[in-house]
């Protein structure tokens, strides 16, 4: 069996939980356990003279970490990837910063990663590239003669054509994507928008596309979690979970868990909680909102501004509604171990997942997985998260509608047990089928079938 070669911006065990490394490692766990594999990406190191790649092993996977120079890190990672592609793909045109030099650094960083990869590749490897940092990688590899199957999965949304066209180099990126054998998306609407931006490709049967002198496939693969393992985790005794439960007492807990990112809709969510307390004085003192939001991408200025905004909003709510024995909002800027998070979700009556846009949102699925079947909580979910396609049992909200989120919070808190149970059961069944293992295996089988004959 040939190796699976995974390429992503971050390698697993990189430390920061905010990056895709953690979630992606869970998503790929089953696929990596089945076959010998190699995982290559940025090591997280930034140095003037990058040393040779660092190597370690984790079970059957060899992990290779490549360092970046300060100039590449600034232009590629903080610049083109996170100050341009991330806001653009999340429909935040006002936050987009385009600089030609950043695009040049983006290409250069991809060439640098391609060079490291070329030293590792074997003819029978299957290559799977992840996310918006690495769109040009296949084109660079093909130019260097790599003929292996190469698949690509976009973890974030693919924007509507008129938004995408604002990117001066959008044609280059589309053409680069045509060099993969399979381009995978989280939802059908992401896939359709990608096909739309192609203009009038010479379509073949099904999801096959012929363009730029290449034939490639597109597909939809909603990422999942290891539902059984997460549910088991949540049911295990957790000292921090117990402390939280003791502390909350009879109050109902609403929980939000997000990287501190402007795509996650945190200001509107906090405002909706304030609106809810204003409109429902009878709930004051009886509900507790815990928002966990570890700092992410602190090197990008828009993230620092968001942090200041939320610090102010949280302080205002607590200033206005707190009592001597009750703090309405607990706002915590750090990460927690998965077991602790699972126990927190399980204790919560309401899960608040209200992104303005999100490729999938795994927190929504983790919240559902963690619920006690005999007394499940209610998920409030943005219609603009990819997860909304699958999780029809959630209370769906428009994240721009602060009053609507406040209404949903009230409805969730007052929802009778039978309705909570039937909604939860529908969602739990979906995530028990569409697991992480199902996601990776369906992508890899589609990639194996996608090779032009």
Active-site residue list:
155, 358
C-beta of 72 vs 363, nearer to ligand ADQ: 363
Residues pairing with 129 in the sheet: 7, 152
Binding region for ligand ADQ (CB under 6 A) out of 15-23, 57-65, 237-245, 281-289: 15-23
Contact between 322 and 287 under an 8 Å Cβ cutoff? The reply is no
Could you list the beta-strand ranges (E) of 298-399: 329-332, 350-353, 378-382, 395-397
For residue 356, state whether it binds ligand ADQ (rule: CB under 6 A). no
For residue 17, state whether it binds ligand ADQ (rule: CB under 6 A). yes
- Binding residues for ligand ADQ, rule CB under 6 A, total 21
Token pair for residue 401? 């509608």
Q: What distance in Å separates the CA atoms of residue 328 and residue 316, rounded to the nearest whole number? A: 11
CB of 335 to ligand ADQ, least distance (A): 3
131: part of which helix (H) or strand (E)?
A: none
For residue 360, state whether it binds ligand ADQ (rule: CB under 6 A). yes
For residue 362, state whether it binds ligand ADQ (rule: CB under 6 A). yes
CB of 261 to ligand ADQ, least distance (A): 6
- Residue from the set 133, 259, 349, 420 that interacts with ligand ADQ by CB under 6 A: 259
Q: Measured in whole angstroms, how far is the alpha carbon of residue 129 from the centre of its chain?
A: 15
Question: Which residues have a Cβ under 8 Å from the Cβ of 82 and sit 6 or more positions away?
Answer: 297, 300
Q: What distance in Å separates the CA atoms of residue 276 and residue 254, rounded to the nearest whole number? A: 12
3-class state of residue 49 by DSSP: coil
**Structure-token match 């079947």, residue found:** 373
C-beta of 27 vs 404, nearer to ligand ADQ: 27
CB of 273 to ligand ADQ, least distance (A): 18
3-class state of residue 154 by DSSP: coil
C-beta of 192 vs 415, nearer to ligand ADQ: 192
Site string for ligand ADQ, 264-293 (x = CB under 6 A): ----------------------------x-
For residue 226, state whether it binds ligand ADQ (rule: CB under 6 A). no
- HSE at residue 272, side-chain half, CA atoms within 13 A, is 26
For residue 336, state whether it binds ligand ADQ (rule: CB under 6 A). yes
List, in sequence order, the alpha helices (H) in 128-222. 137-143, 161-164, 170-177, 188-197
CB of 217 to ligand ADQ, least distance (A): 20
Contact between 55 and 125 under an 8 Å Cβ cutoff? The reply is no
Q: What distance in Å separates the CA atoms of residue 345 and residue 440, rounded to the nearest whole number? A: 25
CB of 131 to ligand ADQ, least distance (A): 8
CB of 359 to ligand ADQ, least distance (A): 3
Binding region for ligand ADQ (CB under 6 A) out of 17-25, 38-46, 137-145, 208-216: 17-25
- Residue from the set 41, 184, 256, 359 that interacts with ligand ADQ by CB under 6 A: 359
Contact between 290 and 254 under an 8 Å Cβ cutoff? The reply is yes
| Contacts to ligand ADQ from residues 137-176, by CB under 6 A | 155-156
- The number of beta carbons lying within 10 Å of the beta carbon of residue 344 is 23
| Contacts to ligand ADQ from residues 289-318, by CB under 6 A | 292, 294
C-beta of 131 vs 181, nearer to ligand ADQ: 131
Footprint of ligand ADQ (CB under 6 A)? 17, 20, 22-23, 155-156, 223, 257, 259, 292, 294, 335-336, 341, 358-363, 366
């Amino acid at each position: 069996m040939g190796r699976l070669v995974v390429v992503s911006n971050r390698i697993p065990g990189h430390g920061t939980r905010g990056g895709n490394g953690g979630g992606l490692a869970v998503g790929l766990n089953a696929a990596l356990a089945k076959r010998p594999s190699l995982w290559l990406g940025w090591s997280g190191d930034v140095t003037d003279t990058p040393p040779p790649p660092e190597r370690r092993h984790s079970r059957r996977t060899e992990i290779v970490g490549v360092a970046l120079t300060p100039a590449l890190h600034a232009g590629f990672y903080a610049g083109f990837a996170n100050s341009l592609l991330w806001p653009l793909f999340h429909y935040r045109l006002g936050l987009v910063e385009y600089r030609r030099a950043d695009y040049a650094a983006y290409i250069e960083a991809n060439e640098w990663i391609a060079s490291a990869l070329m030293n590792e590749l074997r003819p029978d490897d299957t290559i799977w590239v992840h996310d918006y940092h690495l769109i040009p990688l296949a084109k660079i590899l093909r130019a260097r003669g790599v003929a292996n199957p190469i698949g690509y999965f976009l973890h974030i949304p693919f924007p509507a054509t008129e938004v995408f066209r604002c990117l001066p180099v959008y044609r280059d990126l589309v053409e680069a994507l045509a060099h993969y054998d399979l381009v995978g998306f989280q939802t059908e609407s992401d896939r359709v928008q990608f096909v739309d931006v192609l203009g009038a490709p010479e379509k073949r049967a099904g999801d096959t596309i012929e363009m730029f002198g290449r034939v490639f496939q597109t597909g939809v693969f909603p990422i999942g979690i290891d539902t059984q393992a997460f549910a088991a985790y949540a049911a295990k005794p957790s000292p921090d979970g117990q402390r939280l439960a003791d502390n909350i007492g009879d109050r109902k807990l609403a929980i939000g868990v997000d990287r501190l990112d402007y795509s996650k809709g945190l200001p509107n969510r906090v405002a909706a909680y304030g609106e809810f307390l204003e409109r429902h004085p009878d709930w004051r003192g009886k509900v507790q909102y815990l928002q966990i939001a570890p700092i992410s991408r602190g090197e990008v200025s828009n993230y620092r501004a968001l942090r200041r905004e939320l610090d102010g909003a949280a302080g205002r709510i607590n200033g206005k509604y707190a009592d001597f024995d009750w703090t309405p909002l607990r706002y915590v800027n750090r990460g927690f171990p998965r077991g602790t998070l699972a126990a927190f979700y399980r204790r919560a009556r309401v899960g608040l997942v209200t992104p303005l846009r999100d490729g999938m949102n795994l927190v929504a699925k983790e919240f559902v997985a963690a619920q006690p079947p005999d007394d499940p909580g209610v998920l409030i979910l943005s219609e603009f998260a990819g997860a909304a396609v699958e999780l029809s049992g959630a209370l769906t909200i428009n994240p721009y509608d602060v009053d609507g989120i406040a209404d949903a919070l009230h409805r969730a808190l007052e929802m009778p047990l039978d309705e909570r149970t039937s909604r939860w059961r529908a969602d739990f069944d979906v995530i028990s089928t569409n697991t992480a293992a199902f996601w990776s295996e369906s992508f890899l089988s589609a990639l194996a079938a996608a090779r032009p004959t």
